Chain A
């Protein structure tokens, strides 16, 4: 799932659960997750065989 799609679904879910205050926190978490994904730790199924 892309970050954008994840964030959209998370915001909708938080709203549905009566937690709209989560919006800025979820946006902050999205930035953190993006940084983690861009670091590309570990391997990829379509990449070299490594750890």
Chain B
């Protein structure tokens, strides 16, 4: 898939080869053509988008340039408040709940001149990784409609992968930006915890939730990150020289269970980086086998508290699978939640210590390619593995620890479905991580 990037559009825009209005019409045409089969959007904001594009074109014609997102069509996961629209969270539970104001992240996009083109489908309440359970129906993978685009920000990934938008704003509680980005061949950035405001965004777990962009490349993710921070970068996005990269592969646990094609793509990427002069060392992260139990108890405790009232009053409004898992979440005890908090501290210390002498951890993003819709297990390592566990296996660690992490495309399986490579950087150094990612992107 040849994707138009924000950078490329900006160059053409400033050379007056194209207008924002033309690009928005192009995106709306793609939505009209492909959304009925892919189900990426819950709400298409065609009239508002046309008006915003016209305004952006007028501003530029009159010497006002708001920066790299000026006039760029961007989709927003339907967990973010957008003034005057229902924030559905892909659930009937939230029917009729119209937002009275934009979420700060959406407001910041608007201030930067971005054109909000619509609200995208997701796994109900972001509580799942396949986008199958949505009150608005499942979203479907652009390359194979029998497969999931990944989730929970599945509609966001589809919108960017098919040119319905040039970027999307998503959320990531256990991998919900990085998983669909990897499954659909995109870049997905989860910044550090608390780096971007998750205010007025329907939560899954306030202690694990992050917001961030899904984009065509690392440079576009850089643009979105800095707009959302409302701070211009101190320096431009210059890639780290590959020969000076210090990367660590945490093989035990993280490479134990991988689809053969995913493993081949990952090892090929490591070979390319080594050939370019990068230093790649192998490390072992303590407590790795406890990542899933720690994550589960944290997200369950937080989600159970948020959903308790609606589970008691309108349980029939949830999709059956999400309702069942939320009911399960209510059985986590306070003492086990506190044990998970203790485990979280141990994991955070372990990742931080590992990164002291490294630029980034490098690992696959997903152990499998996009799964078939409706499949509860996938064959891996000679036995059936739960799809949900496999989807979260390699991403949830960095939600627990809060370290910034990014996925970028890393080749394809024999089926043609994309594979993703994940990089995780030091706390407070998301810009540095993006410089590493840009270097890796250039050589892959």
Contacts and interface: CB of A to CB of B under 8 A. Distances in A.
B293 A35 contact: yes
> In this complex, which of B332, B333, B342, B345 has the most chain A Cβ atoms within 10 angstroms of its Cβ?
B342
A36 B324 contact: no
A37 B290 CA distance: 10
Interface in A1-28: 1, 6, 10, 13-14, 17, 19, 21-22, 25-26
A42 B327 contact: no
Interface residues of A, dominant DSSP: helix
A6 B334 CA distance: 13
A36 B293 contact: yes
A19 B327 contact: yes
A25 B336 contact: no
B297 A22 contact: no
Interface residues of A, number: 21
A32 interface: yes
A36 B339 contact: yes
B346 A41 contact: yes
A21 B345 CA distance: 34
A45 interface: no
A36 B327 contact: no
Contacts of A14: 327
Given A26-B331, A32-B292, A36-B336, A41 B324 contact: no
Contacts of B336: 33, 36-37
Interface string B33-54: 0000000000000000000000
A41 B346 CA distance: 8
B366 interface: no
Interface string B329-348: 00111001011101101100
Interface residues of B, number: 24
Nearest to B321: A21
Interface string B174-198: 0000000000000000000000000
B280 interface: no
Contacts of B296: 29, 32
Contact of B328 (A1, A26, A35, A39): A26
B324 A6 contact: no
A25 B327 CA distance: 10
A32 B328 contact: no
B328 A29 contact: yes
Given A19-B324, A22-B327, A33 B290 contact: no
B400 to A, nearest CB: 12
22 contacts: A6-B331, A10-B331, A19-B324, A19-B327, A22-B324, A22-B327, A22-B328, A25-B324, A26-B331, A29-B328, A32-B296, A33-B293, A33-B297, A33-B332, A36-B294, A36-B336, A36-B339, A37-B339, A39-B287, A41-B343, A42-B338, A42-B342
Interface of A: 1, 6, 10, 13-14, 17, 19, 21-22, 25-26, 29, 32-33, 35-37, 39, 41-42, 51
Given A36-B297, A36-B339, A51-B345, 6 more contacts: A6-B331, A29-B328, A32-B297, A33-B293, A33-B297, A36-B336
